[in-house]
Amino acid sequence: AQSVTQLGSHVSVSEGALVLLRCNYSSSVPPYLFWYVQYPNQGLQLLLKYTSAATLVKGINGFEAEFKKSETSFHLTKPSAHMSDAAEYFCAVSDSGSGGYNKLIFGAGTRLAVHP
């Protein structure tokens, strides 16, 4: 069965610093992988997704993630953090045995704090 592990439930960075949020997956088949962001009092919004095309995926708001099969990782990065990036970030893997619709298995989430 697919699973996702996000290392670090809380990450704190300074404004302008590199953001690195870690995600490792477990999957018996080539996975489809997603990063979602949740701002306070809002639902989840897709940042980017990997669907077996390019291994470096660019998303919204300057975020990108690289799929590394050898490391079973899909870490999220942003070169320079902005105060508005403070939110909770979720990595998810699609359960490919779900008969067509997208059954997402989510990680526990990483709360990103950005300080001046």
Q: Are strands 56-58 and 44-50 parallel, antiparallel or unpaired?
A: unpaired
Q: Are strands 110-115 and 10-14 parallel, antiparallel or unpaired?
A: parallel
Neighbour count for residue 28 (Cβ, 10 Å): 9
Least distance between another protein and beta carbon 18 (Å)? 26
Nearer to another protein, 3 or 80 (CB): 3
Least distance between another protein and beta carbon 77 (Å)? 21
Distance CA 47, CA 60 (A): 6
**Chain residues in the site for another protein (CB under 8 A):** 32, 34, 36, 41-46, 49, 51, 90, 94-96, 98-104, 106-109
Nearer to another protein, 30 or 79 (CB): 30
Nearer to another protein, 86 or 111 (CB): 111
Give SS3 for 13: strand
Nearer to another protein, 53 or 116 (CB): 53
